[in-house]
Structure 1
Amino acid sequence: MDIYDIFFYLSLGAGFMMAFNLGANDVANSMASAVGAKAISVRQAVFIASILNFVGAVFLGSHVTATVSKGIINPASISDPKIVMIGMFAALLAAGVWVLVATLTSLPVSSTHSIVGAIMGFGIVAGGADVVNWLKMGGIVLSWIISPFFASAIGYFVFTSIRRQILYKKHFILQACKWAPFWIALTVALIMLSFLYKTPVGKSLSLPWGVSLAIAAAVSLGVYWAGRLLVSRLVRDAEEGPETVEGVFRKMQVGTSCYVALSQGANDVANAIGPVAAIYLIAREHQLLAQAQVPISMLVLGGVGIAVGISLLGHKVMATVGGKITQLTNTRGFAVDFGAASTVLVASNLGLPVSTTHAAVGAVVGVGMARGFRAVDFRVLGKIVLYWVLTVPIAAITSIIFFELLKFVCY
């Protein structure tokens, strides 16, 4: 067994650890608003998210992934493939450690930004500052500002619209029958477009925007009429009170949370398995190619890691995002999910590197702000933002330390 084999087997453990932390932190956001609004319990959220993320990672996750330099560094500028392999392993360890620290303190951070910062760190040491794509890094820094504010604005708009159109009306039951089907149809359209443009399976279809919009519009129209029947049935036998309206949005919120969990499993598994795939390719070919064929067993490893992470530690971040920033109801929680999903869809199609974590927290703040500044706990929000700012530099510094130690041992 040579050094390449040793690092490959070690990377499987590090990849599992990263997937575990990804599930405990990033993926927990998908169910946070549903738990905070009491649409489902923590136990139900853990069960649902574990299954859907595993399914998303294994069956919808891409079997062909870039070597997860993520465009941050140019590995071709580093002549020794062994150095790249050691660096990828160090980056995986560094990102995993930082996300674990954030999870244990119950604060949400971006696993994508963690792995990007870690790769940048070893890249600077191994190949110099010129090896880093600073324009790409600038885009990531810009996303810290764009995604939370954009999601906040959408969450604010959606909730204030629901409040104005339904909750503040005298005959709010009739208004719910009128407007809830519209939001159901709009949500289905958003989910369909997100599936087509955010998941690897959807991207492989390569449908033009016009065709995708036509499909989404046609399906949404059918859903709208089905929604009218469903909503009228839900409120017909119910006591005519505010809880009736919340009950309608409760079912919608569970649906959107389930989709986000499935989508995150498909997309975010690359953060854990991508570096493993890169190390696997180097160990097999003794060089780093542009893309790596990822064995299904690696996706299963990532899916299991994500599911275990949600099960054991997911409740910590769920509690922060779902209940400590602002108080959520089902209508507010629906607005949060809609705002976060819309932001990720729009930003990713504009080529902006957006974090689901940042979008989810931004949407929560926007919904809270709709009820005034006092409805948002800015102390909790300040801690979260501080961790966001620290993510890239801490991941980079930790990666450099691990890289230098490993290089000293191996050379």
Structure 2
Amino acid sequence: MDFTLLIIIIVLALVFDYINGFHDAANSIATIVATKVLTPFQAVLWAAVFNFAAYFISKFIIGEFKIGNTIAKSVEEHFITLDVILAGLIAAIIWNLLTWKLGIPSSSSHTLLGGFMGAALAHAGALSAIVDGKEVDVINYAKVIPTFMFIFLAPLLGLIIAYFITVAIMWICRKANPSKADRWFKRLQLVSSAMFSLGHGGNDAQKVMGIIGAAVICYKMDMADPVYVAADSADRFKLFVNDEFWWWVPLASFVVIALGTLSGGWKIVKTMGSKITKVTPLEGVAAETSGAVTLYLTEHFGVPVSTTHTITGSIIGVGITKRVSAVRWGVTINLLWAWILTIPVSAVIAGIFYYILKVFL
């Protein structure tokens, strides 16, 4: 039964990965479609290629999957069961599909994290519990608090970087021929959107990898696998990544998110590409470059941030350079509410599903 449940979790995790791809496709392509540099199909194909290419950067250049490790350890391992992970995944899929249907660019990262934590808290029945004579927190706050902080810091960082990049570009190109400069920035948008897609793939595919890793580690511990039992808890995710049997999981995570991106998420593209502020090719380059820089920085430190929040902040940053009123703040405030509600709502849904699953499993 445990192995069957593990397979179900892996399949659902990859389903979530696919949904994440088409839900977040707008992050990578909204500005490039809005500026008509590429058609929608060309844009999703472009983004999908670089989403997948991020695998090779994480695997062979960076040499590790820090964000996957952070997600796997966001809940203390004593409170991780296969039931917990399954309930968290179901909640994350439901919230992602709902926000996609409503055209709200919420964070796939945060719904996954919220679902995982909510199910674990339902399993423990409290914020902490006694384990081996010591009180242990259910949530690994050292891993989770930076993620919570970056709900606000990631868009703010994207906004600030985008603002200064836009101002710098406008100053450098102040004497340029407008039509010639516009043609150049349309070409540069191909580069900046590719950079952002690399960041998106490297960030978001690892989150699914982290959930699958947590499930495999849980299964191995339940089966009393001597290699995993003997290893320090901090090293078990590395064991999973380097396990010859599970070598395909990182690759599959990147392939599936790329396929999801190829499917597109047109309602969210419309929100991101035109409803927040009107974007020119110059501003598209600035927003995507800012988003990419923010994602690379946070990936370096192993902080799983929302690519949605990051690019939204960057788009607002380029809008502010024109005038504050150029940003449609009513739309932005609605997005902010969705961001704030994502983790707690996902946690509640996951908790409910955990109790339902306990009746049948």
TM-score, scaled relative to structure 2? 0.83
In structure 2, give the amino acid aligned to 1:53: N
What are the Cα deviations for residues 7-50 of structure 1, in whole angstroms up to 9, with x where unaligned? 12211321122111210123431222212222211110111122
| Offset at residue 330 of structure 1 (A) | 0.7
**Aligned residue-pair number:** 332
Aligned counterparts of 2:304 and 2:12: Cα–Cα separation in 1: 24
Distance 1:303 1:142, change over 3 A: closer
Match of 1:141 among 145, 148, 152: 148
Aligned counterparts of 2:251 and 2:144: Cα–Cα separation in 1: 30
Is 2:333 the partner of 1:336? no
In structure 2, give the amino acid aligned to 1:406: L
Aligned to 2:134: none
| Offset at residue 409 of structure 1 (A) | 1.2
Aligned to 2:207: 271
Contact 1:68 1:275 in 2 (8 A): no
Aligned to 2:355: 404
What are the Cα deviations for residues 151-184 of structure 1, in whole angstroms up to 9, with x where unaligned? 11111111122223324x3xx24xxxxxxxxxxx
Aligned counterparts of 2:54 and 2:96: Cα–Cα separation in 1: 21
Contact 2:107 2:309 in 1 (8 A): yes
In structure 2, give the amino acid aligned to 1:56: A
What are the Cα deviations for residues 318-370 of structure 1, in whole angstroms up to 9, with x where unaligned? 22212221111110101101221222334455665532221110010011111
Is 2:154 the partner of 1:157? no
Give the gaps of 5 or more residues in structure 2: 128-136
Aligned to 2:102: 105
RMSD: 2.5
Matches within 5 A, 1:23-102: 23-57=21-55, 60=58, 69-75=71-77, 77-78=78-79, 84-102=81-99
TM-score, scaled relative to structure 1? 0.74
What are the Cα deviations for residues 297-335 of structure 1, in whole angstroms up to 9, with x where unaligned? 333433343233223343332222122211111101011
In structure 1, give the amino acid aligned to 2:167: T
Aligned counterparts of 2:89 and 2:286: Cα–Cα separation in 1: 34
| Offset at residue 140 of structure 1 (A) | 2.5
| Offset at residue 139 of structure 1 (A) | 2.6
Larger radius of gyration: 1
Aligned counterparts of 2:142 and 2:220: Cα–Cα separation in 1: 32
Match of 2:277 among 310, 326, 333: 326
In structure 2, give the amino acid aligned to 1:99: N
State the SS of the aligned residue for 1:39: coil
State the SS of the aligned residue for 1:328: coil
Distance 1:285 1:147, change over 3 A: closer
Is 2:257 the partner of 1:306? yes
Aligned counterparts of 2:75 and 2:308: Cα–Cα separation in 1: 24
Distance 1:155 1:268, change over 3 A: same
State the SS of the aligned residue for 1:109: coil
What are the Cα deviations for residues 96-132 of structure 1, in whole angstroms up to 9, with x where unaligned? 2212221222221222212211121122222331211
Match of 1:374 among 314, 321, 325: 325
Aligned to 1:119: 116
Distance 1:124 1:319, change over 3 A: same
State the SS of the aligned residue for 1:250: helix
Contact 2:207 2:304 in 1 (8 A): no
> Post-superposition, which runs of at least 4 consecutive aligned residues in structure 1 deviate over 6 A?
62-65
Aligned counterparts of 1:309 and 1:357: Cα–Cα separation in 2: 15
Matches within 5 A, 1:154-233: 154-167=161-174, 169=175, 172-173=176-177
Aligned to 1:391: 342
Aligned to 1:211: none
State the SS of the aligned residue for 1:132: coil
Identity percentage of aligned residues:
26
Aligned counterparts of 1:338 and 1:51: Cα–Cα separation in 2: 18
Aligned counterparts of 1:279 and 1:150: Cα–Cα separation in 2: 33
State the SS of the aligned residue for 1:28: helix
State the SS of the aligned residue for 2:83: helix
Aligned counterparts of 2:203 and 2:302: Cα–Cα separation in 1: 15
Aligned to 2:130: none
Contact 1:4 1:282 in 2 (8 A): no
What are the Cα deviations for residues 183-241 of structure 1, in whole angstroms up to 9, with x where unaligned? xxxxxxxxxxxxxxxxxxxxxxxxxxxxxxxxxxxxxxxxxxxxxxxxxxxxxxxxxxx
Contact 1:110 1:357 in 2 (8 A): yes
| Offset at residue 388 of structure 1 (A) | 0.4
Contact 1:99 1:111 in 2 (8 A): yes
In structure 1, give the amino acid aligned to 2:119: F
Contact 1:58 1:266 in 2 (8 A): no
Contact 1:89 1:275 in 2 (8 A): no
Contact 2:70 2:302 in 1 (8 A): no
Aligned counterparts of 1:278 and 1:350: Cα–Cα separation in 2: 20
Aligned to 1:282: 218
Give the gaps of 5 or more residues in structure 1: 174-241
Aligned counterparts of 2:2 and 2:13: Cα–Cα separation in 1: 16
Distance 1:274 1:400, change over 3 A: same
Aligned counterparts of 2:290 and 2:148: Cα–Cα separation in 1: 21
What are the Cα deviations for residues 122-147 of structure 1, in whole angstroms up to 9, with x where unaligned? 22222331211345443323212222
